[in-house]
Structures are given as structure tokens and as C-alpha cells.
Amino acid sequence: MVDSLLGKENNMEDFFAIVVAIFGIIVLVTALAVVLAFPFMWCWNYVMPYLFGLKTIEWLQAWCLMFVSGCLFKSNNVNNK
């Protein structure tokens, strides 16, 4: 009886550890995406309005442009040796 109760408690601890790990990964990936969007936004806002007369963009628009360009121009080369 005691072993089965300890087993359930251990399973719950494992479950919560997995949930916390997944949540941490989601937060880390989101933070990394935001951090990478800022340099793109700053470069765009510094160069594009002066060269081509385009509008400045916000960080979310910069992130969307990075995402779309990553999907369109992603390299699928595999180097098998």
C-alpha cells in the first residue's frame, strides 16, 4: 500500500518536472526570438527609410519578417559524408 502511494507521488513529481521543463523551453525560445528581432528592427529602421523610403517597423513586424524569410530561404542542404 505504501509503495503504491510513493509511486504515485513520484509520478506526479516527474510530471511536474516535465511540465516545468516544457514551459521553460517555451519561455526561452520566445525570449530568444524577441532578442533576435530587435537587431533586425534596428537595422531595418536605420537603413530602409533612407535608401528606399520605406516605413519603419516595430519589433513584432521584424519578428514576422524574420520568420517568413526563414521559411522562404531556409537551406535544406545536408552534408552526408
| 50 pLDDT above the threshold of 70 | yes
Give Rg (Cα) of the chain.
Answer: 22
Q: For residues 53-81, give the mean pLDDT.
A: 83
The CA-CA-CA angle for residues 40, 41, 42, to 5°, reads 95
**81 occurs within a structural domain:** no
**19 occurs within a structural domain:** yes
What is the tally of structural domains in the chain? Answer: 1
Answering whether pTM is above 0.85, one says no
| 44 pLDDT above the threshold of 60 | yes
Span 10-42, pLDDT tens digits: 788 889 999 999 999 999 998 998 888 889 899
The residues, ordered by sequence, that sit 6+ positions from 38 with a Cβ below 8 Å of its Cβ are: 59, 62
**79 occurs within a structural domain:** no
**78 occurs within a structural domain:** no
Task: Give the domain extent around 22.
Answer: 2-73
Q: What is the pLDDT of residue 3?
A: 46
